[in-house]
Amino acid sequence: MQLGEIFEVFKPTKHNYQKRFLPTEPTEGYISAITCTTQNNGIACYMPKEGAEVLENMISVGANGDAPAFYQSREFALLQDCYALKFKERELSHAQYLFLVVCLNKVLAKYNWNNKSGWAKVSKEQIPLPHTPNGEIAFEAMEAFIKELQAERLEELQAYLKVTGLEDTKLTPEEAHALNIFSAHFANRGGGGAMVLPLVT
């Protein structure tokens, strides 16, 4: 299926900010500002939230062809040389958007500085996605697959800490809180890691 059929696009709104004059560290009253960059999840700096078009739970895409797409789970704004994509038909979970980002980056791999990844061209690209026997996108399978991968990585980390004798390392309260949230979120993950799904384009 075509990207333009399943995604709504958001482009940068007019503003008077220049990247070089904006803070590069999180600042109170500011939100992540996305540009065409391969680093830091596409975040180049931070811009004032007031007056900005605040977006959240979307995919950001660099428009110059040499940067990957990123999933933006938190509030952000588009600064320049990029756009954001939101799935049209339903609200997607974090895991489902992460799955879509991987698929989208395979599509974007053909683009570069001399063949820029503007939405006019990218919207016409076909994206392969898993689907159910009745032809619908298999959202539950996408979710299960990502959660299974995340759970495997957590198990690998726990095994590494045990082997290296770091299992009883004392965490800061912030680290412990983050780990508890992560562990609880993926404790009841179900299956899906070995699932083989048909793809529809």
**Neighbouring residues of 80: CB distance < 8 A, sequence distance ≥ 6:** 12, 19, 35, 36
Q: Where are the domains of the chain?
A: 3-125, 139-200
- 150-159 pLDDT, tens digit each: 777 777 887 8
Segments in 22-172 forming alpha helices (H)? 94-108, 119-122, 139-163
Q: Which two tokens stand for residue 192?
A: 């899906």
Dig out the tokens for 127 from the structure.
């994206």
Contact call for residues 145 and 193 (beta carbons, < 8 A): yes
* Rounded-to-integer distance, Cα 78 and Cα 13, Å: 7
| CATH classification code of 3-125 | 3.90.220.20
- Three-class secondary structure of residue 41 per DSSP: helix
pTM above 0.85, yes or no: no
> Over pLDDT 90: what percentage of the chain?
54
